[in-house]
Amino acid sequence: MSKGLFVTGTDTGVGKTVVTGLLARILRKQGLRVGVMKPVETGCPREGDQLAPQDALFLRRISGCTAPPEVVTPYAFAEPLAPAIAAELAGCSIELSHIRSCYEQLLTQHDYVLVEGAGGLLVPLTAQHTMHDMAVALGLPILVVACNKLGTINHTALTVTVARERSQVIGIVLNHTQAIDDMLML
């Protein structure tokens, strides 16, 4: 059985970080050492002379993962763009082999490692690779987070179809990105 999971979404902003954090919390409560990874994060605010990847910071906090930030997020960029474009603007090249070695380092120190993708599966990671190539390179099964709104059947079916070409899909989470109380106010 895989000791890791790749969490993707039908889009950006559908709740990947919230769901990954919830899974981390459940596994941690069962006494497991949970590692987390957000290998590429864009749109990171600056704190002093450093970038502060917000998803990675949240996931580290909720999971209790104390791995160094550069292992949890080997590639952080300021521009809120697709990884391939943000990396090009920063004059940096994203290497799948480096992401893989960070993931393997996390595997040696944890019972389970949760990896959050950026955007959806076909987001460009480099000029040659997509986010799905990263999941395949890490050998991870996929959990799809979908937003519970009109149009989600099409987005979810497209994502699952692409994922199944080269990966095992272990489930779909139909997420509400607003608390129920907020929705009752609408």
Give the residue numbers annotated as catalytic, written as ranges: 38
Binding segment for ligand ATP (CB under 6 A), chosen from 11-19, 87-95, 122-130, 155-163, is: 11-19
Considering beta carbons, is residue 49 or 63 the nearer one to Mg ion? Answer: 63
Decide if residue 150 touches ligand ATP (CB under 6 A). no
* Angle value at C-alpha 163, between 157 and 166, nearest 5 degrees: 145
> Which x/- pattern over 67-106 shows residues binding ligand ATP (rule: CB under 6 A)?
----------------------------------------
Task: Rule CB under 5 A: choose which of 15, 35, 51, 55 binds Mg ion.
Answer: 55
- Count of Cβ atoms closer than 10 Å to residue 78 Cβ: 14
**Of 112, 102, 103, which is closest to residue 35 (Cα–Cα)?**
112
C-alpha 77, offset from chain centre = 15
Query: What residue 1 binds from Mg ion, ligand ATP, none (CB within 5 to 8 A, per partner kind)?
Result: none
167 binds, among ligand ATP, Mg ion, none (CB under 5 to 8 A by kind): none
Please report, for residues 15, 34, 62, 71, 113, the alpha-carbon distance to residue 19 in angstroms, rounded to integers and kept in the order given: 6, 14, 11, 21, 14
Residue 161 in tokens: 């179809």
45: its two tokens: 């605010």
Residue 96 carries which DSSP code?
H
**Token pair for 134:** 């990263």
Question: Site for ligand ATP (CB under 6 A): which residue of 17, 73, 156, 159?
Answer: 17
Residues that bind ligand ATP (CB under 6 A): 9, 12-18, 55, 119, 175-179
